[in-house]
Structure 1
């Protein structure tokens, strides 16, 4: 995990104009979540900015609840405006394509999350390869909404398949 707190050094927090929710891990305390709730509840005009809506991510000690659960809780409790700045938003993938200088049909997203990685990429016209590593779940092979271009055992296998085609 990357510590983004230093990115906010020098910001004036006395009169906030938004709430930012990212990958906070141990900082997702009831107190911090309730502080965000109170700010959004009392200021309906300010938006909630999230780094994505992932349900969970994988660590070596097992799966962990991700930012999407906290984002969804805040949206549910306040009805606030939500701006998604990470996967699976179209803007996230569009910005990636723009930075690469590539067209969607020429890029392949390889990922372990059926919704955030594969589904997000496919919404913009990219191909998506699901790998059976990381947080992959067998039930995703018959996902009701997202159909990967390919399901590969691992990153090496996915890349090899791309290069061999």
Structure 2
């Protein structure tokens, strides 16, 4: 695939997915540590944007550091701080269908007589009982609100593909008739918060992800360019997707970073 479209105009910042791009589960994807190090050595601005809600930002950062990435919490956007801010701002009382690992992040919120349901990665906590409880809460609410921390179908864990939160959220939507409000990718607000944090315009930023719909297309819908990596959840059929055409398809993050940094140098030489 030609990379002309990706490099047709200046690239000033990057947004990188974590799961499937930097790592699978708790295993670094080959070349990804080197790729991030190259960005940092070049002083090239980037942000990490994840939908992972099994762990807090602090724990995710600690895991990345253990794998060799020299990243910080400050560089990361996660749905959990975002939803906590929304719940506080809108004075909502959540019923949480989340993994116990992240429940302490919600300790300052009033959860008595809930008026919304928040669903995120829950793994073994996704059971008939917990899903049915969330269903019942929504059906009892006068003005039901459902939040989903991401809407992915599946992701690559260290032991293989795993069902993502979207699979469970869609069941609740179908049963209740309540449309979920997405906090995380592919929400435009979520992407643009990271772009704003870089101090750039969407057209100056490139998203690198392993999900052709929610990473690549989500970014493109916001005015960014989207690069698909052949790692993580990538499937060969993604290369001929009927609706989404990535601005580039690359072998891995290292390949993407080399293209971007070479493009930056080429634009400098033209000036």
Partner of 1:47: 145
Please tell me whether residue 16 in structure 1 is matched to residue 149 in structure 2: no
Three-state SS of the structure 2 residue aligned to 1:94 is: helix
Three-state SS of the structure 2 residue aligned to 1:19 is: strand
1 CA distance for matches of 2:108 and 2:190? 26
2 CA distance for matches of 1:90 and 1:96? 10
Partner of 2:98: none
Higher relative contact order (CA 8 A, sep 6+): 2
Partner of 1:115: 213
Matches within 5 A, 1:115-134: 115-134=213-232
Three-state SS of the structure 2 residue aligned to 1:37 is: helix
Please list every run of 5 or more consecutive structure 2 residues that lacks an aligned counterpart in the other structure: 1-53, 56-100, 264-271
1 CA distance for matches of 2:179 and 2:115? 12
Note closer, same or farther for the CA distance 1:44–1:78 as it changes in structure 2 (3 Å cut): farther
Matched residue count: 165
Three-state SS of the structure 2 residue aligned to 1:4 is: helix
2 CA distance for matches of 1:35 and 1:11? 20
Partner of 1:86: 184
Query: Residue 44 of structure 1: CA displacement?
Result: 4.9
Partner of 2:160: 62
Report the structure number with the largest CA radius of gyration.
2
1:140 corresponds to which of 232, 238, 244? 238
Could you give the per-residue CA deviations for residues 117-163 of structure 1, whole angstroms, max 9, x where no partner exists? Answer: 10110000100100000111110001111110000000000110111
CA RMSD of aligned residues (A): 1.2
2 CA distance for matches of 1:77 and 1:109? 34
2 CA distance for matches of 1:28 and 1:69? 11
2:123 corresponds to which of 18, 25, 49? 25
